[in-house]
Chains A and B, each alone.
Chain A
Amino acid sequence: MNQEEKIRTLHQLNPTTWVDQYADYLYNYAISRVNDEELAKDLVQETFFAGLNSAKNFKGTASERTWLVAILKRKVIDHYRKSNSKKGKAEIRMSYNNDGEGSWLEEQIADPLSKSENDGIENEELGMAIHECISKLPSKQAKVFTMKTIHGMSTEDICNELSINPSNLWVLVFRARSSLMGCLNENWFAV
């Protein structure tokens, strides 16, 4: 039993499942940081290559996904470093409007009515959480849900592609949605 536990705690790499399991997760992670679809795609690809190349350095202490995300993080940083070195020195500009005494101070105070500051961060976390849950779904449900919800494909197209009938599709969608509701943390559903 002790040995069994040891095996379970040590994670193993399984590169053949990487694309299906983690591509969307990593893609979302990248896209929220670089804001460019093509670039995000490239970064994900580079991450997988780097992962394959350094697979022997994987110690198994972290999960596969955490490890891949760590590589992707480096890739994103490298990208910004590269693009920064091409630029000249950073410029800091501040505009002072001298139309009234102290008016510039007011400009710098955060608007207390604005709730949108954290929206970006929250949406990113939400996206990652949803993708994590999608990757736990049975593959057919995950496929149908992604096609319908994320790609916004028409019912007819999906049915043709997967050769299923519409009522089949809706049952799959329903199952996927109810598992997602169970998987997503209750916090997300709090109003």
Chain B
Amino acid sequence: MITCEESKTICSKNQYKEASWSERFNMYLHVLMCKTCFKFSRKNTKLTGLCNEASLQALSDTEKSELKNKLGQNS
């Protein structure tokens, strides 16, 4: 039996399709019994959907440090 914390972590991992078969099995078993984790799991999936929908863009670290250099902030 896994804890809620573990189940939520696996659920997050599963959002990136990187949870193993046994992890997924344990998580689903837990989610069946735990209402909080069930809600969390649904919301988490929705969050993934939202992130995809928003087509998020971000600057990479190198671009950011370049930007900092240009602004004269070396850190």
A16, B75: Cβ atoms under 8 Å? yes
A15, B55: Cβ atoms under 8 Å? no
**Residue B40, interface by CB 8 Å:** yes
Which residue, B9, B11, B44, has most C-beta atoms of chain A within 10 A? B9
Using Cβ atoms and an 8 Å threshold, which residues of chain A touch B15?
177
B56, A130: Cβ atoms under 8 Å? yes
**Residue B60, interface by CB 8 Å:** yes
B70, A27: Cβ atoms under 8 Å? no
Nearest 10 interchain pairs by C-beta: A127-B54, A174-B12, A126-B54, A174-B9, A24-B58, A150-B58, A150-B56, A170-B13, A173-B12, A19-B68
Known: A123-B53, A178-B40, A181-B43. 6 other contacts (CB 8 A): A123-B54, A149-B51, A150-B56, A171-B9, A173-B12, A178-B8
Question: Interface on A for B, CB 8 Å cutoff?
Answer: 15-16, 18-20, 23-24, 27-28, 31, 37, 40-41, 44-45, 48-49, 52, 123, 126-127, 130-131, 146, 148-151, 155, 170-171, 173-174, 177-178, 180-181, 184, 188-189, 191
Q: List 24 A-B contacts (CB under 8 A).
A: A19-B71, A23-B67, A24-B57, A24-B59, A28-B58, A31-B57, A37-B57, A40-B57, A44-B67, A45-B70, A49-B71, A123-B55, A126-B54, A130-B54, A170-B12, A170-B13, A171-B9, A173-B9, A177-B44, A178-B8, A181-B43, A184-B50, A189-B43, A189-B47
